[in-house]
Structure 1
Amino acid sequence: MDASFKLIISLLLAVLMGAVDSTIVLLALPTITDSLKTQLSLSIWIILIYLLVIAVGTTQLGRLGDILARKNIFISGIAIFTIGSALCGASADIIELISFRVIQGIGTAMVQSNSGAIIADNFLPNKRGRVYGYTAVGYNAGAMLGIVLGGVITTFIGWRYIFYINVPIGIFAIYYAIKFINRSTPVRNKLDLPGMSTLGAALISISYAGVNISTSGITTFNLALMGFGALLILLFIYIETKVAKPLLPLKVFRIKILSYSLFASFFQSLGFLAVVFIIIMYLQGVRGLSPFDSALLLLPGYVIGSMLGPYFGRLADRIGSRIPATVGLLMMAGAIIVYSLITVNSTLYIVLIASGISGTGSSMFFPANNSAVMANSPKELYGMSSGFLRTLANIGMLGSFVISVSIASLGVPRSVAFEVFAGVGKLVGGVSTSFMSGIHYSLYVSMAILLLGAFLSFSRGKEERRSSDITVKS
């Protein structure tokens, strides 16, 4: 086993842990709620606070990796995540558990925001697609694997071990990272504290308002909070034009391939993960399957995606990212067409077929698009680009929750849709038929979002992979 492959293993272990923990709690929510004697409306924040911390933290911590050396931030992130996992498992009440999930989220943000940049540091631009293919397995299959593991571990061992299992894996990942990741040269730079605080406050406001809207409906407070977040985004853009060392140098958006690839990632995450949530809601709420059995029906598609990811990564190295990434998004949109055939009594083979199509599409999109971001990012901004890529993807994941619950609840009370999403509610009789209308509307919205991502992906232009890095003009 050569050093390059061991480096890939260390990256894969780290990103896999973080991705798994984005969803592993989902099937354990009812058990945790009962065990800690709390309410489901509070327990859901075990998932949401983790995603929110990652969405807010990735850009800032990617920039920190540019300044302090990515290896240090990456390894520290694994250690913080591992400690947070142990604390989560030992939580005495729901407030402790939510607080310790914040620690986990900080560690995951440190890992995710620097992993792409570490690949860029250690592999030439025309060799990175294969490596991104492997790490795409960790990012994207990990989220689905988390659902399956959450069901198995909670059912047969106990919910606390969905967190304890990370401790030995984290120790092993730290060992590999220390030994096989090369230390990057720190960039002489400084943190953009005004930009960091403004962007963080904006993301928190918008995300919190979106989650409240999906679970409680539209209120004056939620709309005001959403508007406040939008104003903060405008203030952030203004700040970035004035500070000497901006958190997000707006000049990078002059690089068409880079900017279009970043936003293609956002729309993919926003649309595709909403589909996963919607189909799980269908399988649980309409068909009456357990959360665990529902996850198993979707698993084959993720297995296919995991197997094909490295192959399509190598293809992107040869021909560029435009075609593989665009075709991948179109395949995911095609899978939604198949999903839209589901009815109250349709065969479940439809889900298996659509899952296989979407899994193949994701294996084409992720390694190609991630590689395009880093191959076309200025070397001095590797950490920023890697972090911003994960920030957009995680904001898309939060948005997926809002879309799936809000639109699927058009035919049933919002509280019922929320309980179905959390795996504690089922629908019967005419209510199931009404719920199907919301499901189909959700699928159509997700397909439109993915097609927008495909348009951006194709519009990025022709890309030529070079064996050297690029710089950006001031």
Structure 2
Amino acid sequence: MNNKAILLVLTLGTLMAAVDTTIVLLALPTITIDLHTDLLTSIWVLLGYLLVLAILSTQAGRIGDIVGRSKAYNLGFILFTVASALCGLSFEIYMLIAFRIIQAIGGALLTANSYAVIADIFQPRERGKAYGITSLGWNVGALLGIVLGGIITTFISWQFIFYINVPIGIIAVLLGMRNIRDVNRVKSKIDFSGTILLGISLALVALGTINFAGYGPTIEDLSEIFVGLLVLPLFILNESRVSNPLINLKVFKIRLLSFSLWASLLQGIGGLSLTFLLIMYLQGVRGLSPLDSSLLLTPGYIVATILAPIMGRIADKGRPGTLAGIGMLFIFSSLIIYYFGLQVSTPFSFILAITTITGIGSAMFWPSNATAVMFSAPKEFYGSISGISRTLGNIGTILSYVLSISAATLSIPRSVAFEVLLGVHSLDGGVSQVFVDGLHIAFIVSAIIIIFGAIFSFLGGNTKVKNN
């Protein structure tokens, strides 16, 4: 096997997933107009994708354990690429949402198995570097998504935000089929009952919280959240009784693994909410276009792109959880600085400087956290644990969106908050100050979430990575 070619394929997969997470956000206003719908419907082009990823990632990793990582990963690339082309051909909003769901199925197979492929192929002393390189793909992809989303939507057509995946996907599929081979395979069966219960629980909680953010509290939304939480204990009971559980609960007894997984969830909530909050500030308060506001965030992505491979190599030398915890403290610091320093007329240079601090923190956290998770995972559960990690990350993305919108609606109507997030509405006068005050509350909430994530990382960081 050609390890460099495998890393290229994995990085391309990460890049595509990152591009499609951010690029759609900037294109939603144009999609809304072109497909003759409303923002609260078109937002499901983004949220439907994230929801399916959250539900299927654990199952997709389990499939990789059973049928082989190469088959699962390459199938994911094929589905993602074909669905991308179909998304571009969509002429109706519900058609686009449906094809995005198919795209998410492919994305789940990609992201849920990527950590496991690295753990299969690379020695423990090399994994941090490999995770750092794939993290580079995520940062480049997120940056490209932000910039290309604005450029393509403004100067070409929103359809091409999906079409650009096709040539990349074809190249990656050919490379993946040639180079990725199965190393570890588990003789087992799919846990259908566990899959159904977990899917019901996550779907109800996610739908309830998303609708809560979009429409405000209703009996229906609260009932969905309540029932979803009630189903979770049934899922746990099912997993403790079946012979081939979807999630082997014994793995959570491994301290390094358990703490690192929870740190991943908390970083997803607090870190991504920071990005959403800044976009809402730049567009709603400062009146910048989606493209201009996103460009102000690029220094952080550039810093993270440069530093991620370096931080991965440092994580290989030992105590990745500690390094991840320090990264969380950098993100925590940026949130506190925004709380005290971000005002209606704050200079843009201030934001540029703080995004650099956030970028350093992200570069330290992600490759180190991935190293900590997969180092402590039993080989027979590489796929499942990789899937669990991605599931928690996707849940964090959804909750970060809920946190951002909920904070924004402390001072403005929810419909206006959506329009501010998507760049089709800007605020003025005293409303801007009240809106900024609401964002300050969200910064503090995010900071609290991040500091707990840092604690989890430090608690799980006492085991050194083996160097042989």
- The TM-score range, normalised by the shorter chain, is over 0.9
Contact 1:24–1:146 (Cα < 8 Å) also in 2: yes
Quick check: 25-34 or 216-225, which moved more?
25-34
1:287 corresponds to which residue? 286
- Quote the offset at 1:467 in angstroms: 5.1
Cα distance in 2 for residues equivalent to 1:455 and 1:411: 32
Per-residue CA deviations over 1:152-179 (Å, capped at 9, x if unaligned) read 1111111000001100000011111112
Gap regions ≥5 residues in structure 2: none
Distance 1:461 1:132, change over 3 A: closer
Residue in 1 aligned with 2:197?
198
- Secondary structure of the corresponding residue to residue 188 of structure 1: coil
Aligned-pair distance for 1:147? Answer: 2.0
State whether structure 2 residue 325 is matched by structure 1 residue 321: no
Q: In structure 2, give the amino acid aligned to 1:374.
A: M
Question: SS in structure 1 opposite 2:80?
Answer: helix
User: What is the SS of the residue equivalent to 2:22?
Assistant: coil
Name the counterpart of 2:55. 56
Native 8 Å contact 2:185 2:380 kept in 1: no
How far 1:143 sits from its partner (Å)? 3.1
Query: Runs (4+) of structure 1 moved beyond 6 Å?
Result: none
Q: Distance in 2 between matches of 1:240 and 1:280?
A: 41
Seq. identity, %? 48
CA distance in 2, matches of 1:235, 1:198: 7
Structure 2 counterpart of 1:428 = 428
Task: Give matches, 1:319-398, under 5 Å.
Answer: 319-340=318-339, 341-398=341-398
Residues 398-417 of structure 1 show CA distances to partners (whole Å, capped at 9, x for unaligned) of 00000000012111222211
| CA–CA separation in structure 2 for the residues paired with 1:31 and 1:415 | 17
Deviation at 1:149, TM superposition (A): 1.4
Aligned twin of 1:452: 452
1:364 CA displacement: 0.5
Q: Show the counterpart of 2:135.
A: 136
CA shift digits 1:43-65 (9 cap, x unpaired): 10000000011111100010000
Q: Is the 8 A contact 2:125 2:467 kept in 1?
A: yes
Partners of 1:65 and 1:248 in 2: CA distance: 14
2:114 is aligned to: 115
The alpha-carbon deviation at position 138 of structure 1 amounts to 2.5
**1:15-414 counterparts in 2 under 5 A?**
15-340=14-339, 341-414=341-414
| Distance (whole Å) between structure 1 residues aligned to residue 344 and residue 456 of structure 2 | 35
The answer to whether the 8 Å contact 1:13/1:138 transfers is yes
**In 2, Cα distance between the equivalents of 1:82 and 1:75?**
11
Whether the 8 Å contact between 2:318 and 2:466 is mirrored in structure 1 is no
Q: Please state how far the C-alpha of 1:185 moved relative to its aligned partner.
A: 3.5
Distance, in Å, in 2 between the alignment partners of 1:209 and 1:187 is 36
Contact 1:308 1:363 survives alignment (8 Å): yes
Amino acid at match of 2:106: G
In 1, Cα distance between equivalents of 2:227 and 2:325: 35
Point out where structure 1 has 5 or more consecutive residues left out of the alignment: 469-474
SS in structure 1 of the partner of residue 241 of structure 2: coil
CA distance in 2 between partners of 1:138 and 1:434 (Å): 38
Tell me, what secondary structure is at the counterpart of 2:189?
coil
Tell me what 1:471 maps to. Answer: none
Task: Tell me if the contact between 1:16 and 1:139 (Cα under 8 Å) persists in the aligned partners.
Answer: yes
Shift of 1:144: 4.0
Aligned length: 467
* 3-state secondary structure, aligned to 1:386: helix
Helix, strand or coil at the partner of 2:465: coil
Contact 1:32–1:159 (Cα < 8 Å) also in 2: yes
Q: Please give the alpha-carbon distance, in whole angstroms, between the structure 1 residues aligned to 2:467 and 2:175.
A: 27
Is the 8 Å Cα contact of residues 343 and 436 (structure 2) preserved in structure 1? yes
Q: Which amino acid aligns with 2:152?
A: I
Structure 2 Cα separation of the partners of residues 417 and 132 of structure 1? 36
Deviates more, 1:216-225 or 1:138-147: 138-147
Secondary structure of the residue aligned to 1:84 is helix
The one-letter code matched in structure 1 to 2:429 is G
In the alignment, is the contact (CA less than 8 A) between 1:263 and 1:453 conserved in 2?
yes
**1:5 match:** 4
- RMSD between aligned residues: 1.1
